[in-house]
Amino acid sequence: MWYLALGIAVLLVLWAISVYNFFVSSKARIKASVQEIGNQLKRQAELIPNLVESTKGYLKHEKGIFEDLTSARRAISAAVQSGNVQKMADAGAKLAAVIPSITVAVEDNPELKGSDVVTKLMDELRDTSDKVMYARRLVIDLTADYNVRRVSVPSSFIAGLFKFDELPGLITPQEGEHTKVSETEMKSPKVKL
Amino acid sequence: MVNVYEAQAANKRKSALVVVVFFLFVALAVYVLSQAFAVYSGYRPGGLGMVGLALIVSGLLSIGSYYFSDKIVLSISQARPANRKKDFTFYTVAENLAIATGLPKPKLYVIEDSAPNAFATGRDPKRAVICATTGLLDKLTRTELEGVIGHELSHVKNYDIRLQGLVAVMVGMVALLGDWFLRMRWGGRRDDNDSGGLGAVIMLLGIIFAILSPIIAQLIQLAISRRREYLADAGSVAITRQPEGLISALEKISADREPLEVANKATAHLFIVNPFKERTGRAVERLAGLFNTHPPVSERIKILKEMA
């Protein structure tokens, strides 16, 4: 009998340790993955102006793009330095907003579309925005895992015992226009050609 | 409509169940055969010795393929390392999905073959290798390729190569034991008169198990392989969140009638879609399905569509 009780106690302790380690290592991985977003944004901020520089000859009528890029790049380096996730995400969004205008400039111009340099630019643009997106995906997935295990039985006992707090992940506004669907948005869109 | 997380959890449960059934079956077969060996040798210690010997021989046979599988497969398939300039989409997609899963970027190889297919190997995520044919890289769009690479990365993340290696050792052990049992000198020694009826029953059971268990073990091995394919499909969707990419990739790959020249029976289970094209004849389809390393593509697409 004593051996049985002892065995169960040992198993319980081992289980508690593994759950505790899950929470601790998740926290560390989430922190690292947030840094990865900063890393990818920094790469993007350095890459895009270089790419656009190499296509400057083709895009000479699009002066506005270059100004937007420079200011987005500045915002990113400031955000990366501050280490604040939310600031990084905002700065990233600013840069991401420039990408469509580059795309439009290229799409509007059949000559540009055909050239190798511009094709390369478009490929790299898609790749770099994918990289940022996937880096964010990792933060979202890891925090979701962490938060789900924090509240589900039986791992919630360990979370409560050692006071593991809920982590916010990437912050997006919970209220506002974008959480509602209006009447006009419910109708299927009509396309005129 | 199935939520990705639920699909993944259900797949993990089913997969674990098949693996448990497999190990229980192996334990049973080993137990019966070792008892039969014991009866044969007149209850002298040695029954378990045979099991140990079979495990060691089977382990040695598989150890090479386990440690060098990546190098062996790559040299058989005549693969070349991928580079960022030449294989831009392949290289960057794999890089990005590795970021999404938090795994180190796998080594990437390209096989010059126009039949579209891809596989993953390497015994742990640090040594993972993903290989794609030029046919796949040329025919798929970036989104479709993301689905395929996501599937392969899921195999890496789930340690499928390690599991298949372990299962192969077990199957080899059961096959060896059965083989040895059937090769014993029947009618040589006859000192089992002390065991009587029970001894005869055990010997009979031993013969049945010696004949059937290698086949059954192999069938369960194939069932595990198919289960892991479903699991990797669900894992791919969990990474990319775009079931449509994998669906249309699977459609394109299976619609392609060209056989992959560098694939052989030993490497078939590694590929995303069975490199030997599935023949569909209704009556025998279900039975033939038992011997396949991959579930039918139509079934995989059906399940993916439920996630879309």
Task: Report the distance separating Cα B256 and Cα B115, nearest Å.
Answer: 7
pLDDT on residue A77: 76
What is the pLDDT confidence band of residue A112, given thresholds at 50, 70 and 90? low
pLDDT on residue A106: 72
> CA quadruple B244, B250, B255, B258: dihedral positive or negative?
positive
CB B39 within 8 A of CB B209: no
pLDDT on residue B90: 94
CB A95 within 8 A of CB A48: yes
Question: Which chain A residues have a beta carbon less than 8 Å from that of B238?
Answer: 141
End-to-end CA distance of chain B: 7
> C-alpha B63: how far from its chain's center?
16
- B42: helix, strand or coil: coil
Domains located in chain A, CATH noted: 8-163 (1.20.1440.20)
pLDDT less than 70: residues of chain B: 1-2, 42-48, 61-62, 64-66, 69, 185-196, 261-270, 276-288
| DSSP result, A129-187 | HHHHHHHHHHHHHHHHHHHHHHHSTTHHHHHHHTTPPPP--S---SSSGGGS--HHHHS
pLDDT on residue A11: 94
pLDDT on residue B94: 95
Among the listed residues A162, A143, A142, A160, the one whose alpha carbon sits nearest the alpha carbon of residue A151 = A160
Chain A residues within 8 Å of chain B (Cβ atoms) = 29, 33, 36, 40, 123, 126-127, 130-131, 134-135, 137-138, 141-142
Identify which of A111-115, A158-162, B70-74 has the greatest average pLDDT.
A158-162
CA distances (Å), A85 to each of A40, A51, A96, A142, in order?
Answer: 13, 26, 16, 15
pLDDT on residue A45: 76
Identify which of A59-68, A118-127, A164-173 has the greatest average pLDDT.
A118-127
Residue ranges of B 134-153 with Cβ closer than 8 A to chain A: 142
pLDDT on residue B146: 94
A178 or B173, higher pLDDT: B173
pLDDT of A133 > 80? The answer is: yes
What six digits make up the tokens of B182?
């059937």
pLDDT of A29 > 80? The answer is: yes
Contact A123 B97 (CB under 8 A): no
What six digits make up the tokens of A29?
């991985």
B209 or A89, higher pLDDT: B209
pLDDT on residue A13: 92
- B132: helix, strand or coil: strand
Nearest by CB: A134 against B89, B96, B142:
B96
Q: Is B244 annotated as a binding residue?
A: no
> CA quadruple A137, B160, B143, A53: dihedral positive or negative?
positive
Please tell me the least confidently modeled range out of A14-18, A147-151, B40-44, B118-122. Answer: B40-44
Contact B96 A123 (CB under 8 A): no
Return the exposure string of A62-79: e unless at least 16 CB atoms fall within 10 Å of the residue's CB, then b: beebeebbeebbebbeeb
pLDDT of A169 > 80? The answer is: no
Q: Residue B236 pairs with which residues in a beta bridge?
A: none
Domain ranges of chain B: 4-307
Rg (CA), chain B: 22
What is the pLDDT confidence band of residue A34, given thresholds at 50, 70 and 90? confident
- Structure-token match 């039918």, residue found: B296
pLDDT on residue B247: 93
CB A54 within 8 A of CB A117: yes
By CB atoms closer than 10 A (0-12, 13-18, 19+), residue A193 is exposed
Task: Report the distance separating Cα B50 and Cα B165, nearest Å.
Answer: 22
pLDDT on residue A174: 65
B45-54 long-range contacts, CB within 8 A, separation 24+: B50/B177, B50/B180, B51/B173, B51/B177, B54/B173, B54/B174, B54/B176, B54/B177, B54/B180
Locate the DSSP E strands across B106-174.
107-111, 118-121, 129-133
Q: Is B294 annotated as a binding residue?
A: no
- Sheet with B79-81, strands from edge to edge, namely B79-81, B107-111, B129-133, B118-121
Contact A126 B102 (CB under 8 A): no
- B109: helix, strand or coil: strand
Summarize pLDDT for A53-77 with one digit per residue, the tens.
Answer: 777 776 666 667 777 777 777 877 7
pLDDT on residue B194: 52
Question: Which chain A residues have a beta carbon less than 8 Å from that of B92?
Answer: 127, 130-131
Task: Report the distance separating Cα B112 and Cα B207, nearest Å.
Answer: 48
pTM of the model: 0.81
Residue ranges of B 83-102 with Cβ closer than 8 A to chain A: 88-89, 92, 95-97, 99-102
Active-site residue numbers of B? 152
